[in-house]
Amino acid sequence: MSGHFLDHFILGAVSALAPYLLGVPYALALGALASLAALILYFGSVLGAVPAVIVAFTVSPLTALLKIIVFFIIQQVEGNYLMPRIHGHALHIHPIPIVLAVIGGWGLFGIM
């Protein structure tokens, strides 16, 4: 649980910092929402990004596009690097078996 909490805390902090640097209002609330939405497996990251992109459109369409790109980069780094390392450290397992377990679980059970 500590690894999961740390993973979501870092995700929320980076998700709040990115809109703040882009000049999007309510950056802290959007980061907290992204962190909470990430608790929903597979679709939570998208659900957390949608409100941030909508708010970014109030600034400019270019800001919204940059926000989409930044969220994509954040999710890729978090899912492919950060999550396996944090969970592997918390469980004392190398990150590669964790990535393989996630891929295998998705292949076997899908959305279920």
Higher pLDDT, 54 or 44: 54
User: pLDDT (tens digit, 9 = 90+) per residue, 9-32?
Assistant: 888 899 899 999 989 999 999 999
64 with 50: CB under 8 angstroms? no
Query: What pTM value is reported for the model?
Result: 0.74
Q: How far is residue 14 from each of residues 11, 41, 47, 106, measured CA to CA in Å?
A: 5, 19, 16, 26
Count structural domains, the chain: 1
Higher pLDDT, 97 or 64: 64
> What is the predicted pLDDT for the residue at 11?
86
Tell me which residue range forms the domain holding 58.
Answer: 2-109
Separation of alpha carbons 50 and 46, rounded Å: 6
pLDDT averaged over the chain? 85
Q: How confident is the model at residue 111 (pLDDT cuts 50, 70, 90)?
A: low
